[in-house]
Amino acid sequence: MAEGAIKPEIEGSLQNELVNTTKEKHAQSVVNPQVDTNSSRIQIIWTPRFIISFALTLILGLSIASLLTQGWLDGFYSGLLIFQLYVIIICLGWLTLLIVTHSSWIRMGSIFGIICALFMTTHIIIFSLSSDLSLHVHALINAITCLSLLGSYICLSIDKTPSNYLDAWLFGLAPLIACIAVALIYFLTPPIERSLITLENAIAATALVLSILILWVRPALWKSQPGPTFLFGSVPLILLIRALSNKVFSPSNFFLAQVLGRPIPNLHTNESNFFFTQLSLLLLFLGIVRLIQAERSSSTCSCAMRFESSSEHAKIN
């Protein structure tokens, strides 16, 4: 009899404790919605409309690049206006990303990207005014452009990416490895060919290699943002492969030098230089578009979460 009377009391007290605990958790989630919503909600970025727009942009860009390459080879126009349009579109993309983002790292990456586009525009302007001056200053502009791209990639790769021991070792040893690589390239060059241009080309090549390593060697980036990692990492890879196909490190290996004027006589890589330079700029633009969509989606989700939490708080009050 005593045991039968105690059991209902115990069960009733347990039920009351369970109800009180549930109310406390609900109140805590209303006061701090990030505890509950961040872990239970997944931001949907690849919407059907964005997938179709992204695919159409890629297909249309490749088709236009092929047509422009054929027209350039036939001598209908030079590459000055073509690549200036590419650079303007990319610069507008960086500017849009700078405006829509709420992350300080992405803002810094966008600023570095704008600097990179400005230096490419500077080289196009110098090339259009005087080709001799362009040949003398291109190695310097080339090195600054590659370093700006590296700075942009570093900032973009840090944002929203969990750090680990691999990242600490990579960012810690990267400056030392870069200095050693530049020194080896410079001093292993024959003394007759060694000059300031050799040093500037070595800096540009090392910056592109580091851009690939910072993006593609880190597993955390492939898990957190695989799309931008692939798109941005493909840009320096294409530029390096195109440079190695010419078998020498010269001031005209990276970005725009071999594609701004008319096709160079007796150069069998004319077509690949023009097309793959367009492809690298197209992939860079698609990576920027992907980041813009991600930032807009995250801001929309955060606004919806704030509205939902405020409405739940109003209901409780």
Asked if residue 194 is part of any domain, the answer here is yes
Cα gap 211→153, rounded to integer Å:
6
Whole-prediction pTM: 0.78
| Contact (Cβ atoms closer than 8 angstroms) between residue 153 and residue 113 | no
User: In this structure, is residue 242 part of a structural domain?
Assistant: yes
Residue 4's pLDDT band, with cuts at 50, 70 and 90, is: very low
- 291 part of a folded domain: yes
At 190, the amino acid letter reads P
Range of the domain at 209: 74-298
How many folded domains does the chain comprise? 1
What average pLDDT does this structure show over 86-104?
94
Question: What angle (nearest 5°) sits at the alpha carbon of residue 285, between those of residues 82 and 138?
Answer: 55
- What is the rounded distance in angstroms from the CA atom of residue 68 to the CA atom of residue 263? 13
> Which of 27-41, 162-176, 200-214 comes out lowest in average pLDDT?
27-41
Most trustworthy range by pLDDT among 41-45, 219-223, 249-253: 219-223
pLDDT of 105 > 60? The answer is yes
In this predicted structure, the answer to whether residue 26 has a pLDDT above a threshold of 60 is no
Residue 309 lies in a domain: no
Tens digit of each residue's pLDDT (9 = 90 or more) over 192-242: 878 888 888 889 889 999 999 999 988 888 888 888 999 999 999 998 888
Of 124, 284, 152, which Cα lies nearest the Cα of 210?
152
Residue 288 lies in a domain: yes
Question: Could you tell me if residue 34 is inside a domain?
Answer: no
265: pLDDT strictly greater than 60: yes
In a domain, 305, yes or no: no
Residue 48 located in a structural domain: no
